[in-house]
Structures are given as C-alpha cells and as structure tokens.
Structure 1
Amino acid sequence: MSAETDPFLALDVSTDDYATTAAHDQQVGADATVAAVQAEDDSDAEREKATAARAARTRYTKEDFLAQKASYTARIDEGSVWKQLLVFGPPFRPSGAFLSALDAGDVDVPKGNGDSSTGKSKLDKKHHQAIQAAVSELYFLQKYAAVQEIITWAKEHFEKDKKWDAQVVKWEGKIKEKMSAQEVA
C-alpha cells in the first residue's frame, strides 16, 4: 500500500486553502510586528515623560539656585561635637576643668554618678563614631586634657574589642606625646 492510498498519511489540502492560510498567517505576523513597534513607541513616550518629570524635580532654575545660595550658612561645630556624648547610656559627665577648658559653662550636664550597675555596655558603631569625632575635634583644637577625660570615660564604661583597644592605645599615645611637649615648651 502506498502513501497515497493510506488514509492516515494522506493530506487532503487544496492549493487554494494553503495560499489563503499562508496569507492569513503573514497578515497576523505583520499585525504583531506593528503592535510591537507601537508598544515600543509607547514605552519610549512613557520613558521620556518620566525623564522630564525627574529633571523637573532635580534641576534648579537660576533663581532657585541664587535664593538657596543667599540663604546658605555653613554649619560650624567648633568644639561642640563632644556634647553628643551627654545623651549616651551611660552619659558622659564632664568635669569642671573640662567645661572651663572648652568655655562651655552653660552646658546642661546630666546628674547622677554615671556608674552602670550592670557593668560595661557594648560599644556600637554609632557610639564609636561619636566618640571618635569628639576626640578628633578636641585633638585638633589642642584640648588634650579634655581628650584624655573622654578616653578615660570611654574606657571605664564600654566593653573592649581589638579594634577599640587599638584605637584607644593610638589616642593615648598621641595625647601623652602632645601633653609632654606642652609641658616642655
């Protein structure tokens, strides 16, 4: 039995039906291409709209810039970063000598003995950065006795780790060197 007589293998499709089906498929493909191009155009328009909105939010007009420039004042913390330590737990309680060295007589110092009944507390990153900023600023201002007082307070109230120990040793070495140089001069 040949393939032409086998009912399962024979395809009864006329050439006209094939041409109509092929033409229909071609039109559907063209329509899909047109739809894709239109969708791309829409997304381009939306992208341009979003870019324009972002530019409107982030760009200054010359008048806006000049108004902000005229009202700008630089923040100057001349020896006042240490005041952040007053709100720590346990808070820093500066001595009278510390306050007089910094001309900070009007500072509201927390009351109490400052001793923690639970021992030393863990030094988190925020506290470490605040202590480091205060020490750096007072060192720059050459208030070495005040720096030593902050270092002593920090050593008494916070747990040690390798990084903290290395930092404190470095601070103490610099302070001792500077204080001895001041005594000689």
Structure 2
Amino acid sequence: MSAEADPFLALDVSSDDYATTAAHDQHSGADATFAAVEAEDDSDAEREKAGAARAARTRYTEDDFLAQKASYTARIDEGNIWKQLLSFEPPFCPSEEFISAVNAASVDTIPSASSSDSLSGKQKTTLDKKHHQTIQAAVSELYFLEKYAAVKEIITWAKDNFEKDKKWDVQVKKWEDKVEKKMQAA
C-alpha cells in the first residue's frame, strides 16, 4: 500500500526494521524464562491474597453453610396472616364484625378494646419494611377470600396508627379503591 492512497494508514517502514524491533522487544534465553516464572509467582501470590480478602469479607465457611442448612425449616403459612397484626405496636384490635367475617371463633390473643382507646391520642408509628409487608399480606389474603369488610377495617387501622409516606399513601389508596369497587359490586 502506498502513502499516496491513504496518508493515515500508510506506514513507510521497510520489512527489515520489523524483525529488528521485535528482537529488541523480547528478552533472550534465560532472562525470558526467569521473567515468566517471576510473573507467574506474582499472580499466584495475588490470587491467594484476593482469596483471603474474599474469605475475610464473607466469613461464611462451608461448615457454617452446612450447619445453617441442617437447622433450616421452611415457614408454613396456613392462612390467618391478620393474626400477626395483633403483635404490632400499636396492636390491631379486631371488632366483633371482623372476627365473625373471618370466622375466627377462638382467638386467644385479641387485645382488649381499652388498649386501642388508650393509643388513640399517641403519635403515629413509622412502619418498617417487615410490618408493611405483613399488613400487605394480610390485606391481600383477606381480599382474596372476599372478606372486604375485614380488609377495610385493617386499612382503617393502618391509616390511623402508622405514619404515611409516598409509597404507603399510594398502596393504601389502591387497596381502598379495590375494596370499594368490590363492596359496591356485591
């Protein structure tokens, strides 16, 4: 290729210069072998160091995993998720209509109505993720079972007792709209 065809791609170097340049770039004989072994030793040391750093970071050994695996039991949920709301602070205090709607004939852990009256003047509690998910699961379960009055009672309790944020407002509004539509249709 000539320099006149494309000035950016054209190189004016004779073929003999390539061989000389390549010879200077490479180490010769024992120097090349020594350099290669030294580089390999460095990479092994770096790999070991990286492995030790990773192990220190995770601190979860195979024995730890096997011990946890042996002690693991799956949580089996047989319904009545709303009963978990009884242990919240402030606790959910279901009404008689709620209990009859969900067919909960024997509920041992229902807080008395007086405890809910004493909480009415207190400041609203901030919901953490676990509690928010529990409320959402209870609402979803009762909605699926078509217990719309019970869902409405949980929504009212949640709105009255827990601090709102943007996500919470959107979720509660969605629940309310769905329940209202279903109650009007019934």
Deviation of the 1:77 alpha carbon: 3.0
TM-score, normalization by structure 1: 0.57
Residue in 1 that maps onto 2:184 = 180
Residue in 2 that maps onto 1:132 = 136
Residue in 1 that maps onto 2:5 = none
- 2:107 aligned with 1:106: yes
1:58-94 CA-partner distances (Å, limit 9, x unpaired): xxxxxxxxxx9xxxx9855343211221111111111
Residue in 2 that maps onto 1:150 = 154
* Alpha-carbon separation, structure 2, partners of 1:98 and 1:76: 24
* Alpha-carbon separation, structure 2, partners of 1:165 and 1:39: 58
* Alpha-carbon separation, structure 1, partners of 2:41 and 2:135: 60
1:47-126 superposed matches below 5 A = 76-104=76-104, 105-111=106-112, 112-114=114-116, 115-126=119-130
8 A contact 1:90–1:116 mirrored in 2:
no
Which segments of 5 or more consecutive residues in structure 1 lack a partner in the other structure?
1-25, 45-56, 58-67
* Alpha-carbon separation, structure 2, partners of 1:147 and 1:30: 77
* Alpha-carbon separation, structure 1, partners of 2:42 and 2:86: 61
Which segments of 5 or more consecutive residues in structure 2 lack a partner in the other structure?
1-28, 48-61, 63-69
Specify whether residues 133 and 34 from structure 1 end up closer, same or farther in structure 2 by C-alpha distance, changes over 3 A only. Answer: same
Specify whether residues 99 and 84 from structure 1 end up closer, same or farther in structure 2 by C-alpha distance, changes over 3 A only. Answer: same
* Alpha-carbon separation, structure 1, partners of 2:174 and 2:107: 32
RMSD of the TM alignment (CA)? 3.8
Between the two proteins, what is the percent identity of the paired residues? Answer: 58
* Alpha-carbon separation, structure 2, partners of 1:126 and 1:142: 24
Residue in 2 that maps onto 1:51 = none
Q: How many residues align?
A: 139
8 A contact 1:98–1:145 mirrored in 2:
yes
